[in-house]
Amino acid sequence: MTQQAESRLHAGAPGDESKAATAVAGTTPDQTAGLPKGATPAVTRAVVRGTGHYLPERVVSNDEFAARLDTSNEWIVSRSGIERRHFAAEGEATSHMATKAARAALDKAGLGAESLDAIIVATSTPDLTFPSVATMVQAELGMKQGFAFDVQAVCAGFIYALAQAHALIMAGTARRIMVIGAETFSRILDHDDRATAVLFGDGAGAVILEAQPGTGTNADRGILSVDLNADGSQKDILYVDGGVATTGTAGCLRMQGKEVFRHAVEKLARTAHTAIARAGLVAAQVDWVVPHQANLRIIRATAQKLGLPMDRVITTVADHGNTSAASIPLALSVADAQGRFEPGQVIVVEAIGGGLAWGAVVLRW
């Protein structure tokens, strides 16, 4: 932990109104907030403190594709549920969108960037090969403290990033982390390939996680369980055909859609089940599923396998298309802005993408 973070830990982060009333010997005020007088916190929980998102101005309709490709609005809507998506403007890159989403989350939480210990960005479409998008966001936010890095797990990137942030908070390495999913997939699409060009979009979403004391039961707020998986033998069904060490180009996305679909329905339901069970819960106790927004048919099939009605599932795929690692934080932020989540509700987030890599996180809002 940085010296600044360390001193904030003892002084209380600036702009943080959740100061503890009760201090327990050997713990900091933050660690005892909300606990009965004299109680010692059993665990530290990574609790959502705020959300934010950004979508590029340009909205691309299905008809725009139909005007130049052998496709139709009817095919795209019926096969994927996508009605429109946003594409970044020329010169607009992943770090710009990520920074805007981060600022929105900080504003919503009433926090300043100086109160963050770390930034994690999930992305497969960084501005440059290096440095990371996360360090660019750090600079844009004017942060002089903390650490920053990117996570690359394609569409499962935000789940992996949440898992990283959770582990860092549980270990005491950081107390407040900005977790961002941001993508400019329009830059890696083969715009002449109707099978993939119509499916993806650009955008960014951000979630601030912060350490709060918990009792160790699943009644705690914050992340309750994590399930991560990968199967590198499935590389060829979803990949980008270029890279730094091979072609020296960014390459284009290639996908065997039907194969990915088949894996998605089966693996998403399984990982969600595993994470729910690991949290000591059953599906009936889940208030909301916020799935990766790739295809409405996958979202419906997964909800059905979990035995959950669609009115407990957040969907933004119609408006955003598949924004890869950005899709879950975008959906979380949009739903949060609509006031759909109540404190104490159980939320499951789940995603699968290239790798294959997939996973789920259960949290209490």
Rule CB under 6 A: which residues touch ligand UT7? 71, 75-76, 79-80, 155, 194-195, 198, 257-258, 260-261, 264, 294-295, 298, 322, 353
CB atoms closer than 10 angstroms to residue 234: 17
- Least distance in Å: CB of 133 to ligand UT7? 19
- Least distance in Å: CB of 353 to ligand UT7? 4
Number of H helices, E strands in the chain: 12, 13
In angstroms, the CA 56 to CA 298 distance is: 25
- Of 68 and 144, nearer to ligand UT7 (C-beta) is 68
- Least distance in Å: CB of 151 to ligand UT7? 16
In angstroms, the CA 249 to CA 242 distance is: 5
Among 273, 292, 295, 320, which one carries the catalytic annotation? Answer: 292
Residue 20 per-residue DSSP state: -
- Of 264 and 281, nearer to ligand UT7 (C-beta) is 264
In angstroms, the CA 5 to CA 13 distance is: 9
- Comparing every residue's Cβ against ligand UT7, the nearest one is 257
- Least distance in Å: CB of 128 to ligand UT7? 24
E-assigned strands of the chain? 43-54, 58-61, 84-87, 118-122, 147-151, 176-184, 202-214, 222-230, 238-240, 253-255, 288-291, 346-353, 357-364
What is the CA 79 to chain-centroid distance, rounded? Answer: 24
Please name every residue paired with 180 in a beta bridge, in sequence order, or none if there are none: 121, 206
- Of 12 and 257, nearer to ligand UT7 (C-beta) is 257
Among 252, 273, 320, 322, which one carries the catalytic annotation? Answer: 322
- Least distance in Å: CB of 183 to ligand UT7? 10
Specify whether 155 is catalytic: yes
The helix/strand/coil state of 355 is coil
- Of 19 and 68, nearer to ligand UT7 (C-beta) is 68
- Of 41 and 201, nearer to ligand UT7 (C-beta) is 201
| Residue 175 contacts residue 211 (beta carbons within 8 Å) | yes
Specify whether 252 is catalytic: no
Write out the catalytic residue numbers.
Answer: 155, 292, 322
